[in-house]
Structure 1
Amino acid sequence: MPSLLEAIEQKYGISVAIFVPCKSPRMIVPSLLVLNDCDIATAGEKEALVAKCACVEELDLAKNKLNDWPEVFGILQQMPRLKFVNLSFNPLSTPLWQQLQNLVLNSTYIDWESVQQILDHLPGLEELHLSLNDYNNVNLCKIDYKKKHKHGGIRKLHFTGNPVNNWKEVCKLGYAFPKLESLVLAECPIESLDVNRNYERSESECESESPHDGFRMLKFLNLNSTRISTWDDIEKLAKFPTLHCVRIQGCPLWESNEYTEHERRQLLIARLPNVEILNGGGVIGADEREDAERAFIRYYMEKPESDRPERYSELVSIHGKLDPLVHIDLRPEKRVKVTFTCGSNREVRSVDVYRTVSDLKTKLEGFAGFSAAKMKLYYVDQDMDSPEEMKYPQKQLYSYNIRSGDEIIVDCK
């Protein structure tokens, strides 16, 4: 089978080796080059091809034997003025890069039409990166974004840092990629998961809409540094049918000082029974989940009934109504009464347990009759017989578990 270069030579009767002084080699081939049914399978020598075809504007290669996309692009690259090409009836049934599984187009500002065209030629694509492309909407399916599922192979989509702020637009990604399992929306200014927000729709249409409708197979969702600000939106995540891993940090909802980090995690876990991994880390264990759910009940049992979410009733039906936790102060007593003995002298004194051994020695100089530098102290627990020397000057008394009724013996070195 001839190459394109050989077909040109055969049709126009000019060999590459022949020098024609009257005409430049670039003018040999007309701007309209028609080579139908010539059994062309390859491009041929690139340097000779570019010399002959630099002025070609229209190329008709229908009914040839071209079956390799890289070979086709090799031909097109040699024709910088090309405006039209016909490749009909060439055996190009195998799409370009059918083995490609991961494509990164971050910060390329590629438009949606181009994305659509690329995806049409990548049937094996599983992971797509479209971050930082300044998308404020999604326009992959022009006809019916709910029904036109063309890209069933995509499993992972990275969409970080795009200015899309409406969940309805995000849902279009789910409809375009119906088998999507992982979606990263970090640093997108999404304010709510309400698909009907800021949209005027009929009541029947609103009933058919749901935040998770386009994400039936989604397992992982990253909402870090979005603008989610209400617990209502968090609770919507519990409706996603297969979602089990969520990242949601750095949102306005967490800017309040009302919760500690631990309390926030508990309130999240209790609201999301479907989520197994929260903000990274290991799988949420049964004990942690039960503790979180009980803490959730106790948190809202003190709130007005109108402020209690639906999840409260669900958890009460599981764990029952709980008693409030009793606050127990486990800090040591600040002052205790201790018997001090020095020779034949005995005296009961009230002692600050946060005082150091060194401070105590200084305070006992008058009682002992000698300086702190010459002093040794021995702590005697009332429940134990053997005294313990208090060797360390900066050690605080409470660390000895000292209690009222204990004894400290003062001795001279």
Structure 2
Amino acid sequence: MTGACPADGLSEHGIAPGARLAEPGRSARPRVLFVSHTGTMSGAELVLRDAVRPWTDARAFLFEDGALGEALRGLGLETRVARRGAGLSGLRRDASPMRALPVLKRLAAIAVEIFGAARDCDVVYANSQKAFLLSALPARLAGRPLIWHLHDILDGAHFGRVQRAVQVRLANACAARVVVPSRAAADAFVRAGGRPSRITVVPNGLDLDLDPRPQTALRAELGLPAGPLVGVFSRLAPWKGQDVVIDALAALPDVRCIVVGAALFGEDAYAADLRARVAARGLAHRVLFLGQRADVPRLMQAVDAVVHPSVDPEPFGRTLVEAMLAGVPVIATDAGASAEILDDGAAGILVPPRRPDRLAAALADLFADPDAVVARTRLARARALSHYGAAAMQRDLATLILQVSGRP
């Protein structure tokens, strides 16, 4: 295999230029190195956990250990943790390059470790922006094709101009493929300067085990109140928009809300502001902060509606698919991939972002006539089953890995 980065994408057979072909008598199954910058389980890490299931003989390289490392080891992956990676997941992705200077030596040491791990594998699979930035040059030097699974919208709301420029230039030069979960994420990558030939859209897929018991039994077991109840399920971060839901609830005196999630990546000030906002509006008896939970499917089944209030474009929206599978009505802001997932509103209710008045009106209409959304909710569940299953995602990603590795 050569040490050069791929040219303008794959060949007509889907094989990265310079990729090593299977040798006679050698297994056609490539050795994959999955790289992640964090051990915390959030949306991208849940996708990785499900994506690696067909590759239990693969290897993983994590900047820091945690729940993700435990999950990957439990699936049989040989998992290595960087010697100096602890705490790097807290380095904000919108930080200026100058703020990253104090940790450059640590980042360089991790890149050297990735280079060593990459030499023992056939394909490097970077599962985040930080993982990609530190894997691009090591993969090139090791002569291994690189797949970047981009779980973000590359725009000014999420990344600085210099960051976007660095990312797309590295992707154009060194990525055999850039995997994105939606057309919205693909379009943002191209607008930022990324080459369309690099892009492969693979929607996130998941399966959900549902509890067969009625909602009343679930609420009693979970300690949730009776009456109209909505749920917000995501990590606590300003762009996730939990504050918009709190403002909307001020106009809905009979509606209660559970907020499920925690400030996973340094957004503690925002989490404190949410609680202060609830107290200032006299909503402490109606808004329950449940923190990070492992029983999200049951909590979703226990509420009357799931609200997805992101104020900036979402690259996907795992919460939407979970709610659709759970058979719960969905109200989402029309930003990023939400309209794509909800079939332009046929499978859910879309409202403008940053508009608590419009969100309150949509919730009021839903609770005034819950039967009116029954058909839409059934359609949503059927759409989730047909478009966003874990098996389809695993199959599509496995096909891509085989293609870039040059294996049959």
TM range (shorter): under 0.3
The structure with more helix, counted as a fraction of residues: 2
**Which of structures 1 and 2 has the larger relative contact order (alpha carbons within 8 angstroms, sep 6+)?**
2
Task: Compute the TM-score of the two structures, normalised by the length of structure 2.
Answer: 0.26
TM-score, L = length of structure 1? 0.25
